[in-house]
Chain A
Amino acid sequence: MNKKQIINTLKLLGFIIVVSFIIDKIAYFTITKISDTVYSGQAIGKLNHYLAIKDTTKLIVFGSSRANHHIDVKKLNPSSYNMGVDGKFIAYSATLIKLLPKDVKQTVILHVDPNVAYREYYNREETKTLMVKYHTNAVIKEELDRAELTNPLQNFYWCIDYNGLVLGILKNAVFPKYDLEHYYGYDPMEVHSTQKEIFKKILERNDSIVCKTNLKLNPLFNTYLKEIESFCSNNNKKLITITTPLYIDKCPEDNNALRKILEDLNIEYHDYSNFFENKNSTDYWVDIAHMSNVGAEIFSEAIRKDLSIND
């Protein structure tokens, strides 16, 4: 390798680094500008919507798809929002709860899933979708750094914040799906024929269920649970935990164990896993863990009476 080759090689590599950095920043700020106007879609839109209403809403539901599709929050309180999102668990919820205003009286309903609580491997990977706010929100940045989920190149290539989300952002910017005036985060699911067929086949399969015997609370779940409890009790929030129905729950042991832990932490807990029991119907379900709009409406009506948090 002669001197000229070294210079040419360094020039090319330097050029790539500089140009890719500049292109990255142009793309990042353009996408951020578009993204901030998006209020549709689960990944970004809902997060933006949440950030817009979190300070003025009295009741907010957090959790996974089961929170999102099962709880019609308007039945619980007129000033409410359902921040349940598909595939999001306690780490995601904890991060969002920590964004709530400190001195405003609010009710936090957190959906807890014993299946996640007692999962051997839970790496809070779902919080990755909060990456879109990595360079713009200090609390989110701190949580993501703590979770060690960031890409080492992310501080150089900021567009990694939007990894996997750009097309969704563009689509939702061009074709906004929700009526923001009336949308409050609850997404009831209508069952179409293909889904119904799949669900029937799953039921026919009659898969055997093995209940967990070693019920050891996942340490990360435990940490976040305590953090949520601490944040809520110190910041004027009423915390209620809830487990929404399953088509059938043959393993009540984990729910009972979780109940004990929540009681020890003085956290209110309502377990509705077997809510339908003998009154069950496949019309209430999309799959074994998710209720249809029909099931969700029945359930929401029932918890409205049960939870008594209408004020």
Chain B
Amino acid sequence: MLFNSIEYLIFLPTVFILYWLLNKDLKKQNILLLIASYIFYAYWDWTFLSLIIYSSFIDYYIGLKIYETNSAKAKKNWLRLSLFSNLGLLAAFKYYNFFTESFAEMMLLFGWQVDHVTLNIILPVGISFYTFQTLSYTIDIYRDKLKPTKNIVAFFTFVSLFPQLVAGPIERASNLMPQIESVRKFKQKWFHDGIFQIAVGLFRKVVIADNLGVYVDSIYASPDVHNSSTLLLATIFYSYQIYFDFAGYSDIAIGSAKLLGFRFNQNFNLPYFSNSIADIWQRWHISLSSWLRDYLYYSLGGSRGTALFTFRNLMLTMILGGLWHGNTWNFAIWGAIHGLLLVGEKIIFSVLKIKNAGWFGYIYPFWVVLLSWVFFRAKDFEAAGVIIKKLIFFDFKIPFIGDTNAIVTGLSMLIIGMSLDLYLYRSKQELETLGRRLTPIKLGAVVSVIILLISLFYSTSNNFIYFQF
């Protein structure tokens, strides 16, 4: 079920009413959430529910085993089993074709023709998100940072909680499990926050991102026929499209969770107002970047070694983080570019003995990240190469505009979206808590205006970009 669908408009209030009708019985509330979450997922494809149940069961059981076992070796073996099961799922459903094709291509470089079988595998929606979520649970127990739960309903609800099931945020058990296991109280402030954030999220997604996407899709479909300025414009649009698409999704997720009395962590914090590449990664898809930092980068050794060792870990983390997004080399390259940028920035800052680049720091991150988005969006490596080449050897010709109405709508809505971001940045406020600062009348009026803008300017498109990951 998509957040921007009529189905969700019916689903969420229904769950909301039933949920708060049961607010005197935590167990029943959690069972309702579990059933609702499975219905939410099954609306896409019920057969893949089995994977969520499998992943939930494995980590529920292993979590208990790790905790009960005193032997360090046994703990490690249980953890390995969890890693094997979860990453195995990912490998089978997401990376099988990537591995076999890459292996065959590598062999071809040595002159060996290898027959390989590619399978027509459907990528289960949300698999990258919920496997990381359950993994964090067992790893935290292994690291003695968390106690496992014996409440199977609570754990299964943690894995499948519908606002974050298919595209995050990747909530940690340390944040979510205590909320699931304790009585939730309806808070008017949270309700206001939630309503406001859902409205803003929908606006960001269906108005800004989807309108920008119209132009981006048309240009990226045939990059070879377009000139440099057209490709630059499309890439700038894409950088905002993907931001508002995913930030919008996160807003709806966080807002929906708040209506049910859950506080999710912030997932986007105005990333395009960052003053360095490292800063971007502390503001962009925060739940993933902090996951990669805590469970991958630190596990590799983090910065506890020589500079070269730190750089190696940074590169590996970013490349694997890139591959988490998708099973093509383009994503690996995208991750590698970010790794190199982070390493380069660390070196330059260290040589110049500065903490940031001052005003220049507010300019260069956007533009260098912009180039990396080409690999993220281009349909294959060849297309990305064509675009990068045209962007480097710039021809300064007039950009192709195409549908003027679409481009003007996209731009106008982008200005509104960025004005809100600028307001949040200058006033040092968070969108997550803006709703409570408005009186009910102001909140109602603002939400009504947002509804009007959505009615007038929404664009119909297929999906949230991050659903494909």
Contact = CB atoms under 8 A, between A and B. Distances in A.
A15 B445 CA distance: 8
Contact of A15 (B409, B441, B456): B441
A143 B299 CA distance: 62
A163 B455 contact: yes
Sort A-B residue pairs by CB-CB distance and give the 10 closest, nearest first. A20-B448, A15-B444, A1-B186, A159-B455, A19-B448, A20-B451, A1-B20, A201-B225, A168-B405, A157-B455
Contacts of A167: 405, 408-409, 412
Interface string B217-251: 00000101111000000000000000000000000
Contacts of A52: none
A163 B456 contact: yes
Nearest to A9: B191
A266 interface: no
- Give chain B's interface secondary structure class: helix
Nearest to B440: A12
Q: Most chain-B CB neighbours within 10 Å: which of A23, A27, A164, A198? A: A164
Nearest to A166: B456
Interface in B387-402: 397-398, 400
A205 to B, nearest CB: 7
B397 A194 contact: yes
A50 B230 CA distance: 35
A264 to B, nearest CB: 37
B197 interface: no
B205 to A, nearest CB: 15
A11 interface: yes
Interface of A: 1, 5, 8-9, 11-12, 15-16, 19-20, 23-24, 27, 43, 151-153, 157, 159-160, 162-168, 171, 194-195, 197-198, 201-202, 205
A163 B23 CA distance: 40
Nearest to B398: A194
A16 B457 contact: no
A151 B460 CA distance: 11
Interface in B178-198: 186, 188, 191-192, 195
Interface in B429-451: 440-441, 443-445, 447-449, 451
A165 B441 contact: no
A165 B448 contact: no
A17 B87 CA distance: 46
Contacts of B447: 16, 20
Interface in B149-196: 186, 188, 191-192, 195
B459 interface: yes
Nearest to A200: B225
Contacts of B60: none
B443 A12 contact: yes
Given A5-B188, A167-B405, 9 more contacts: A1-B20, A8-B440, A12-B191, A16-B447, A23-B449, A27-B452, A166-B456, A197-B227, A202-B225
Contacts of A5: 186, 188
Interface of B: 6, 20, 23, 186, 188, 191-192, 195, 222, 224-227, 397-398, 400, 405-406, 408-409, 412, 440-441, 443-445, 447-449, 451-452, 455-459
A153 B452 contact: no
A27 B448 CA distance: 12
A1 B440 CA distance: 18
A23 B20 contact: no
Given A1-B20, A12-B195, A198 B452 contact: no
A1 B20 CA distance: 7
A153 to B, nearest CB: 7
B409 A159 contact: no
A160 B406 CA distance: 16
Nearest to A160: B455
A171 to B, nearest CB: 8
A11 B192 CA distance: 12
Nearest to A161: B455
B455 A194 contact: no
A162 B456 contact: yes
B444 A12 contact: yes
A114 to B, nearest CB: 23
20 contacts: A12-B440, A12-B443, A15-B440, A16-B195, A16-B447, A19-B445, A20-B447, A20-B448, A23-B449, A151-B6, A157-B455, A159-B455, A160-B455, A162-B456, A163-B456, A163-B458, A164-B459, A167-B408, A171-B408, A202-B222
A198 B225 contact: yes
A196 to B, nearest CB: 12
A88 to B, nearest CB: 14
Contacts of A171: 408
A165 B405 CA distance: 8
Nearest to A1: B186
B382 to A, nearest CB: 13
A9 B448 contact: no
Contacts of B458: 163-164
Q: Most chain-A CB neighbours within 10 Å: which of B222, B441, B449, B452? A: B452
Given A8-B188, A16-B444, A24 B455 contact: yes
Contact of A23 (B224, B412, B443, B452): B452
Nearest to B19: A1
Contacts of B456: 27, 159-160, 162-164, 166
Contacts of B397: 194
Given A9-B191, A152-B6, A167-B412, A20 B443 contact: no
A198 B444 contact: no
A15 B443 CA distance: 10
A23 B405 contact: no
Given A157-B455, A198-B226, A11 B440 contact: yes
A87 to B, nearest CB: 9
Contacts of B20: 1
A84 to B, nearest CB: 17
Contacts of B448: 16, 19-20, 23
A170 B102 CA distance: 53
A195 B401 CA distance: 10
